[in-house]
Chains A and B, each alone.
Chain A
C-alpha cells in the first residue's frame, strides 16, 4: 500500500511541477529562438546531469546571448530557454519533450543526460522531426539507431570504441613484456556498465587476455570492499572498473586503503570529473579512464576557462566537451542554414563540417570521428592517450605509481 500511494503521490508531484513551469512560458514569436530541454535536475541522474549537461547548456546560452543571439539569416535572435526536470524518470522525460514540442512549440531541443534517457526520447525527437545530438549516450547500437532515426547523432560513440582503445594499449604493453595475461574487471549492473563490460569481454577474448576476475555489482552498492579485496588477492597487473561516479570514488578509495597497486588502474564515469582530482589530490596520477582531452589545444583551454568563469566549476574531461561540441554543431548548422526550419538545419548537420572544441568535425557517420576514448591523469590534467593519431595524444605513463598515504588535496 505504501509503495502504491507513494507512486501516485509522485505522479501528482510531477504534474504539479509541470503545470507550475507552464505558467512561465513566453509567448511564441519569432523575435527569439526557443530552445527547450528536459534534463534530470533531481533523482538518481542529477549527479551526472549536473556536471556534464546543465552547465554546458547554461554556458552555451550565455555565450550566444552575449554575442547578441543566434545568427539566423541577416538577423541575430536571442535564445529563450524552456527547461523541465525529468526527475530521472524516462516516462517523465518523454512527456516533457512532447510538451516542449506541442505546447511550448520550441524551435530546437537539446538532449537529456545518459544513454537510457537519450534512447527514451529519441523516437519522440524523430517523430516530430527534431535533430537529436546526444552528447552523453554510449551505445553499441549507435549505427543501427542512426539508421532508424536519421536525425539522431550519437556523439559519444559505441562501447567497443572505448574497450578497443583500452585493449590496444594493453596489447602493446604485453608485447613489450610489461604486463601478463591476467586482468581483473568489475562493472556496474546498469546500462553503461553492461555495454562497456560486454564490449570489453569480446575485445579481451579476441586479444587473448584472460579475465581472472569478472564480476558485476548492483546500482547503489555502498561497500565495494569485498570486490576490491578479492581483486587485490588475485594480484592482477591490470584492474578495470566500469563504474558510476559514487562507486568510482569508493573503488579508488578502497584500492588506496588496501594498498592495491596494479600496474594499470582504470575506473569508469567520474574519473574525469574535477571532483576526482579534488578528492584524491596527487594520487590521481596515472589513473586511466574513458575520454581525455587534447591539453595542448587552445580551443580546449579556452573552453575550460570560460566554463569555469560562467558556471563556477570546471567541466569534466570527457562528455562535457562532447556535449558542448554538440551545441556548437547545432549553432553552426542553424547559421549555415540561415533559417530555423528544422529540415534545412538537419540537412546541414548531416552534410557540413563544423569547427568545434573537438576540432573540425563532420557527422556523416552520426558519431564524432577520431575522438579521444582513453585518457589518463598526468601532471594534474586528464589527457587523452588513444587514439594515438589524435592531435595532442599523450603517451601512457606506465606503470601507475603506487598510492601515497594521505595525499588528498584536502
Chain B
C-alpha cells in the first residue's frame, strides 16, 4: 500500500510539475503573469486529440509538431501583444498588473475559439493506457511517461539555465533586467525567448496530460490555478523548484488520500502551500526579493 501511494504520488506530482514549469519561466523571467496559460495548455491537448483521432498521429509524435508551433505562436503573442506593455511600463510591478489584464482578455479569446470549434463537450482518447508493474505496484504507462518528461524537462532546463551562457543571460534578466542590459544582454529578446519556451512547455504538458485526462474547452483555469500554486511554492522562475514542489504536492495528496481520506486532498494541497510560504516566503528555491 505504501508503494502504491508513493508511485501514485510521484506520477501525479510529475503531472503537476509538467503543467507548472512553463508558467514559472513566463512569470519568473518575462514577468508576464499569463492567465491564459491553462487555455494554451488545453488548446495543445485539443491539437493532440485531433492529430490522434483524425490523422492517427500518436501524441508523442504530435509533440514534434505541436511544440514548435506553440513556441512560434507564443513568440508572436509576446512580440505583438505583450511588447507594447513591456515598452510602456516603468516598473516590474506595473508590468505584472498590465500583463494580468492583457492575458485575462487573451484567456477569453482562446477559450472562445475552442468553445466555437469544439463546443463545451468532454473529450478523451486512449493512448499507451497500459499497465506497468514496478515493485508490485501497477501504474499506467501514459502517466509514467508524463512523469519522465517532467523530470527530463525539469533537469534539462535547470542545467540549461545554470550551465550555459544563454541560460546565464536569461537568469540575469530574471534577477535584474536593468543591470542585464548594462552588460549587453538583449533583455527583450531574452524575455521573448523565455516566454516562448514557457509556452512550448505548456503545450508539451497539454499534449502529455491529454493522454490520460478527460478535458473540455473550459478546463484551462484549473491548470492555471494548479500551476500558480506549484510555481509560487517552488520559487518563481525556478524550473527545478517547480519539479520539486509538484512532486511534493502529488505525494502529499496521494498519501492523504490513501491513509487519511480522499476528501482532504484539496485541503492538504493548500495546507502544504501555506506551510511552505510560512517557512520560506519566496518559495522552496526562491531568492529573497528586494
Contacts and interface: CB of A to CB of B under 8 A. Distances in A.
A47 B120 contact: yes
A69 B11 CA distance: 56
B258 interface: yes
B98 interface: no
B62 to A, nearest CB: 15
A279 B210 CA distance: 13
A270 to B, nearest CB: 7
A233 B140 CA distance: 17
B15 interface: yes
Given A217-B265, A250-B213, A230 B131 contact: no
Interface in B175-222: 212-218, 222
B120 A253 contact: no
A191 interface: no
Given A217-B265, A222-B213, A227-B257, A257 B104 contact: no
A136 to B, nearest CB: 14
Interface in A222-244: 222-223, 225-227, 229-230, 233
Given A245-B122, A258-B131, A226 B115 contact: no
A246 to B, nearest CB: 4
A227 B253 CA distance: 11
B8 A225 contact: yes
A226 B121 contact: no
Given A218-B263, A253-B140, A275-B124, A246 B8 contact: no
A42 B253 CA distance: 29
Size range of the interface on B?
35 or more
A268 to B, nearest CB: 13
Given A215-B263, A227-B262, A259 B213 contact: no
Contact of B100 (A2, A270, A278, A405): A2
B108 interface: yes
A258 B8 CA distance: 12
B266 interface: yes
A402 interface: no
B5 to A, nearest CB: 6
A233 B262 contact: no
Interface string A312-338: 010000000000000000000000000
A221 interface: yes
Nearest to A43: B218
Nearest to A9: B104
A51 interface: yes
B254 interface: yes
B126 A280 contact: yes
Contacts of B212: 250, 253
A51 B4 contact: no
Contacts of A275: 121-124
Contacts of B130: 257, 405-406
Given A217-B257, A233-B1, A189 B263 contact: yes
A389 to B, nearest CB: 34
A215 B214 CA distance: 22
A378 interface: no
Contacts of B265: 217-218, 221
B61 interface: no
B266 A220 contact: yes
Contacts of A278: 124
Interface string A201-216: 0000000000000011
A123 interface: no
Interface in A64-110: 88
B120 A226 contact: no
A173 to B, nearest CB: 27
A26 interface: no
B176 to A, nearest CB: 24
A217 B138 contact: no
Contacts of B111: 42
A186 interface: yes
Contacts of B4: 225-226, 229
A185 interface: no
Contacts of B214: 245-246, 249-250
Nearest to B226: A222
Interface string A382-409: 0000000000000000000000011011
Interface in B1-58: 1, 4-5, 8, 11-12, 15, 52-53
A40 interface: yes
A222 B120 contact: no
A279 B121 contact: no
A13 interface: yes
A409 B60 CA distance: 19
B129 interface: yes
Given A217-B265, A222-B15, A42 B120 contact: yes
Interface of A: 2, 5-6, 9, 13, 40-44, 46-47, 49-51, 54, 88, 186, 189, 215-218, 220-223, 225-227, 229-230, 233, 245-246, 249-250, 253-254, 256-259, 270, 273, 275, 278-280, 313, 405-406, 408-410
Given A46-B115, A217-B263, A226-B258, 20 more contacts: A2-B100, A9-B101, A42-B111, A216-B261, A218-B263, A223-B250, A225-B8, A225-B139, A229-B8, A246-B122, A249-B122, A250-B214, A259-B138, A270-B122, A280-B126, A408-B126, A409-B126, A410-B53, A410-B125, A410-B126
27 contacts: A2-B100, A42-B218, A47-B120, A50-B120, A50-B216, A51-B122, A215-B261, A215-B262, A217-B263, A221-B265, A222-B12, A223-B11, A223-B15, A226-B258, A229-B1, A245-B122, A246-B214, A249-B214, A257-B140, A258-B131, A275-B121, A275-B124, A278-B124, A406-B130, A408-B129, A410-B52, A410-B125
Interface of B: 1, 4-5, 8, 11-12, 15, 52-53, 100-101, 104, 108, 111, 115, 119-126, 129-131, 138-140, 212-218, 222, 250, 253-254, 257-258, 261-263, 265-266
- Listed from nearest, the 10 A-B pairs whose CB atoms lie closest are A46-B120, A50-B120, A408-B126, A226-B257, A223-B12, A225-B8, A246-B214, A217-B262, A249-B214, A50-B121
